Amino acid sequence: MSDSTAPYQQFSSALNKALIETNANVTVIESQAGAVSQSEGSAKIDLVIAVGVKATELAIADFNAPLLSVMIPITSYEMLRKSGSSRRLPRAMSAIYLDQPWERQLSFIQAAIPNHSMVGVLYSPNTTIVLPRLPQGMSLNAKS
């Protein structure tokens, strides 16, 4: 896990519970505590699930097992894959992205603050943005 804040702890607890019910052997390592490399462990590792960007970086550096990266933005995942090509990448690597579609984000904003009709979006130059169809009565200012 990249850190021990509530979202990471909740994800870890839910995943741990689900995997233990299937008799899987689960070890949770927080990135601040330092990772245990695959060569130091006694058991064969079938899958590493890295929760967050820092955990994914450590998993790429320390493990050869297949890697599933979760709770990670697509831009961070793609950057790690590109930078990892010069280093050793796991045999198989995939991700479940943290990113939410613009339509879902705007619907949430409209529900949360219905009396506001103008929304600003700040995004990085590396972000591909396709402006969505806006909910009725909203306007969007987007700048990189």
8 Å CB contact between 45 and 63: yes
- How far apart, in Å, do the first and last CA atoms of the chain sit? 30
Q: Report yes or no on whether pTM surpasses 0.75.
A: no
Q: In the prediction, which pLDDT does 69 show?
A: 93
> Which percentage of the chain shows pLDDT scores above 70?
72
Q: For residue 35, what are its two tokens?
A: 């990772």
CA–CA separation, 91 vs 125, rounded Å?
Answer: 31
Name which of 105, 98, 101, 100 is nearest 55 in CA terms.
98
Tens digits of per-residue pLDDT, 66-94?
999 999 988 889 888 887 655 566 668 99
Q: What is the rounded radius of gyration, in angstroms, for the C-alpha atoms of the chain?
A: 19
Q: In the prediction, which pLDDT does 35 show?
A: 46
If you ran DSSP here, which 8-state letter would residue 70 be given? E
